[in-house]
Amino acid sequence: MMARDGEVSVFKLAAGAIAIMAFATGALVFMPYVALSDIAPPEGLKPYTDQQLRGRQSYIAHGCIYCHSQQPRDPSVAPDMARGWGRPSVPADYVYDKPHLLGTMRTGPDLFNIAVRQPSRDWHLGHLYQPRAYSPGSIMPAYPFLFERRRGAAQPGEVVVSLPPGYVVTGERIVATQEALDLTAYLLSLDRTYPVVKTGDVP
Amino acid sequence: MSFSAGLLLVTFLGSVAALALFLWSMSRGLFGTGEAAGRVIFASKEIGLVEEPAATTAATEDELQGVMNRTGHTGEFAVLTPEEADERAMLDASSKLPVIIALTGAVTWLVIASVFGLVASIKLHAPDWLVHEAWISFGRIRPAHLNAVAYGWCSLAGLGIAIWLFPRLLRTPLVGSRTAAAGVLLWTLGVTGGIAAILMGKSAGLEWLEFPWQVDIPLFLGGTLVGVALLRTLKRRKVPHLYVSVWYISAGLIWLPALLIVAKWPGIHFGVQQAAMNWWYGHNVLGLWFTPLGLAAIYYFLPKVLGKPIHSYHLSLVGFWTLAFFYSQVGGHHLIGGPVPNWLITLSIVQSMMMIVPVVAVGVNQHRTAHGHLSALRYSPTLRFIVLGGMMYTLASVQGSMQSLRIVNTTTHFTHFTVAHAHLGLYGFFSLVMFGSMYFVMPRVMDWEWPYSKLISLHFWLVLGGFAVYFTGLSIGGWLQGMRMLDAARPFMDSVTVTAPYLYSRTVGGTLMTLGHLVFAAHFGVMLLRRGKRREGAALLRRPMPTPRSSGSLSPTGASV
Ligand code: HEM
Ligand code: HEM
């Protein structure tokens, strides 16, 4: 009789646990799936090119997301727009983002519209090589392994990074690797200034 | 706005109604068997008898007993018969193999993860340090730290303790010790593969889900094997009631695989929906995996060391079901202000506030159980860690509820304040509870005492001091960072420079914590080899002599009166 009593509670336990989990999954995973699955890409948003996708992959591999978000907030909440980070983002801005890179830290600035704020490839390459050459006091890591130091005469086809004086040894030049070029191409694709249709409260 | 407000009201009322219904059904006895169930962790006449295998000498354990006798408890026989002691020794030995593997793996990951954390911390104030190799760059070491603590240290420690607890809770030797051991090994293999993948730049890109899905297969299978062994043990149980720790552990083992499957299924998630899924997973792995394992340990060790049943068994069940219901829906509070549907955020904020219910249930229960016996902490290393860990559970949760309110979250969301909260939860609560549990369990498993009592104190003070520095500094720094970031008149760089001293202080605190972990790991190693000082009069279990009781009514069976 005791055992039977116990059986009932094991069953209740398992059933309750599963039901509660199913309910939460329905609310937090399935409902957004339904609500967001038929969103059309805005006209101004282009799919990523192959090179940009490779760059996106290295953004993931080098963990830029642990310091940079991609989700400007509404001006009523925070001065993100005033900082030049762009208008509040909407779900349609992310239709080509797999995996999503919204991020939860702002050790560095939001990058959702970095191409607008900083359209120069040279600047990005130099900044990745040594952030402190452009932004004194920055705590962004330097990424020297995305570049090669070469001596002698420049070769055709090389992208040589132009750094502020004092950051290159004379006689040496800093050459961007393909990965650095891809990553920069991705950064330069981050421009969501096209208008969006305001849908209000997405149900 | 009005839609959100309406939704807020409806979810709130709905939740309160569900709670009321639940309380009513429990008062009608629909959910369990009351106070008797709180006593199943004691032998027939054991209530009143302390148990503390980590007490450094038999004399210390006598002191502990003395404290309990003075401060009074339920007043029963306080004896463990030799037969009962033998039975318990047999139960404790039945899980030896998987427990040793799991806990050794956990301690190894603890050390590795702490070094990763320390390197990441130093890099945040020395950004040109160790920059020439991709694998050791901040963007790899930091997720390696997170995954090594979460799936290496915390999960393996939690699994080891759960495997050890089951035979005791069910008074049945572990069925399938080898199955469980194989499961734990597979899990370790998965974690190793996952960390290697992250360091090589093969992260899947989602926070808390960085492991590539291929690596999650051994994790999933490993967890399942452990689940199978525990389920088989559950089926053979010899106790009339399921203790609340069984509820927490079993539910955790049901939830984790469900979470992994939904989160890792390749190709279904996209864009903002994936972000919602990401944090549904992120908070559920905390709330429905680590938290239940941690609470299961507190609910067992706190009463067991004191020799006194938990204050209210009913309350512990309220805590269980409300935790399951509310916690599972809070994921959206990681995306406040983001481009996710408004109702999802609102739902999460409401349920984050409702979380106060289970947190108070657990807090009151612990407090009422330990109340009046605080001097027992002096004699019991297990209690010291567990009681402190339990208090930090309450703190982390109350802080979490506040942090999910929009007015607070707007400031703290993207800052180091969140990192401080994360460590209050996963370190202050979970890790401390695991330390305490391991101090209790290892002497029973190895049949050997902790050789150097001084090392236990050293470990305790190093991690406590280190954590205090870590948490205080980062909370202040994070708050200032958030204030600077919200001030449109200041350049962004102000929010970076203001954190500098606090990032240094984190390295100081983290160094102390890491040193503490090295001390613990060394002591653990000596224990594994059964080396070190042999002491007279082991404080292990076998103490069949009855303790004279000063007062109290003797109930003939020790069962509920
Ligand atoms: C009532 C209970 C709790 C509530 C309402 C809560 C709330 C929150 C909120 C709102 C955040 C997100 C902060 C942000 O990104 O803006 C957060 C983060 C976090 N919480 Fe809690 N918390 C609770 C308890 C706990 C406990 C018990 C633990 C540990 C087991 C914990 C561990 C964490 C961790 C690790 C994070 C960081 C996640 C990440 O960004 O990677 N929390 N919590
Ligand atoms: C062993 C117990 C520990 C646990 C359970 C733990 C847990 C965590 C968690 C959950 C996070 C993610 C926070 C978030 O995303 O908001 C994190 C990040 C971090 N932890 Fe730990 N940690 C532990 C020990 C340490 C130690 C000893 C250090 C040394 C200083 C450390 C330094 C860090 C750093 C630097 C980060 C990254 C913060 C950032 O991205 O800005 N942790 N840890």
* Predicted pLDDT of residue A169: 84
Which residues of chain B neighbour A71 with C-beta distances below 8 Å? 337-339
Which residues of chain B neighbour A167 with C-beta distances below 8 Å? none
Q: Per residue in B154-183, is it b (16+ CB within 10 Å) or e — as a string?
A: bbbbbbbbbbbbbbbbbbbbbbbbebbbbb
Q: Are A21 and B418 an interchain contact pair (Cβ–Cβ within 8 Å)?
A: no
- Rg of chain B over Cα atoms, rounded to whole angstroms, equals 24
* Predicted pLDDT of residue B555: 33
Q: Distance (Å, rounded) from C-alpha B237 to C-alpha B245? A: 14
Using CB atoms, which residue from B32, B143, B271 is nearest to A94?
A: B271
Q: Are B171 and B91 in contact (CB under 8 A)?
A: yes
pLDDT, mean of residues B205-225: 95
pLDDT, mean of residues B189-213: 97
* Predicted pLDDT of residue B16: 72
Q: Judging by beta carbons within 10 Å of its beta carbon (0-12, 13-18, 19+), is residue A101 exposed, middle or buried?
A: buried
Give the H/E segment covering residue A172.
Answer: strand A172-176
pLDDT, mean of residues B220-246: 93
B510 pocket-lining for ligand 2 (C-beta < 6 Å): yes
Using CB atoms, which residue from B205, B331, B406 is nearest to A28?
A: B331
Which positions 83-122 of A are in contact with B (Cβ < 8 Å)? 83, 88-91, 93-102, 104-109
| B22 token code pair | 């639940």
| pLDDT grade for B561, boundaries at 50, 70 and 90 | very low
Q: What chain A residue is nearest to B497 in terms of C-alpha separation? A: A137
Residue B342, pLDDT > 80, answer yes
B421 pocket-lining for ligand 2 (C-beta < 6 Å): no
Q: Distance (Å, rounded) from C-alpha B236 to C-alpha B217? A: 29
pLDDT, mean of residues B306-331: 89
Mean pLDDT is lowest, of A116-120, A168-172, B116-120, for A168-172
At which residue do the structure tokens 């080898």 appear? B178
Which atom of ligand 1 has the smallest separation from the CA of B409? Answer: 16
Nearest-ligand number for the alpha carbon of B430: 1
Q: What is the mean pLDDT of chain B?
A: 89
| pLDDT grade for B287, boundaries at 50, 70 and 90 | very high
Q: Choosing among A76, A139, A147, A149, which should be mutated to test the B contact, i.e. which has the most B CBs within 10 A?
A: A139
Nearest-ligand number for the alpha carbon of A106: 2
Give the H/E segment covering residue A175.
Answer: strand A172-176
B460-519 pLDDT per residue, tens:
999 999 999 999 999 999 999 999 999 999 999 999 999 999 999 999 999 999 999 999
Greater confidence, B52 or B3?
B52
Q: Distance (Å, rounded) from C-alpha B104 to C-alpha B127? A: 34
* Predicted pLDDT of residue A152: 84
State ipTM.
0.93
Residue from A194, A200, A157, A195 nearest A175 by CA: A157
Residue from B19, B195, B170, B43 nearest B105 by CA: B195
Output the CA–CA distances (angstroms, integers) from residue B248 to B233, B281, B291, in the order listed: 16, 18, 9
Q: Distance (Å, rounded) from C-alpha B369 to C-alpha B365? A: 6
Q: Between helices B82-94 and B96-125, what is the axis angle to 10°?
A: 60
Q: Are B77 and B546 in contact (CB under 8 A)?
A: yes
* Predicted pLDDT of residue B7: 64
B518-550 pLDDT per residue, tens:
999 999 999 999 888 766 544 455 444 444 443
Q: Are B244 and B218 in contact (CB under 8 A)?
A: no
Using CB atoms, which residue from A10, A58, A79 is nearest to B486?
A: A79
The share of chain A scoring above pLDDT 70, in percent, equals: 93
| B197 token code pair | 């993948």
Residue B318, pLDDT > 90, answer no
The share of chain B scoring above pLDDT 90, in percent, equals: 71
End-to-end, the C-alpha distance of chain B in Å comes to 55
B24-74 pLDDT per residue, tens:
665 555 545 567 888 889 998 888 888 998 887 777 888 888 888 887 665
Residue B345, pLDDT > 80, answer yes
Residue B150, pLDDT > 80, answer yes
| pLDDT grade for A201, boundaries at 50, 70 and 90 | very low
* Predicted pLDDT of residue B531: 86
Greater confidence, B4 or A67?
A67
Q: Are B123 and A91 an interchain contact pair (Cβ–Cβ within 8 Å)?
A: no
A93-146 pLDDT per residue, tens:
999 999 999 999 999 999 999 999 999 999 999 999 999 999 999 999 999 999
B506 pocket-lining for ligand 2 (C-beta < 6 Å): yes
For residue B341, cis peptide bond before it (omega within 30 degrees of 0):
no
Residue A158, Cβ neighbours under 10 Å: how many? 12
* Predicted pLDDT of residue B232: 94
Q: Distance (Å, rounded) from C-alpha A98 to C-alpha A95? A: 8
pLDDT, mean of residues B269-286: 95
* Predicted pLDDT of residue B39: 87
Q: What chain B residue is nearest to A203 in terms of C-alpha separation? A: B341
Give this prediction's pTM: 0.93
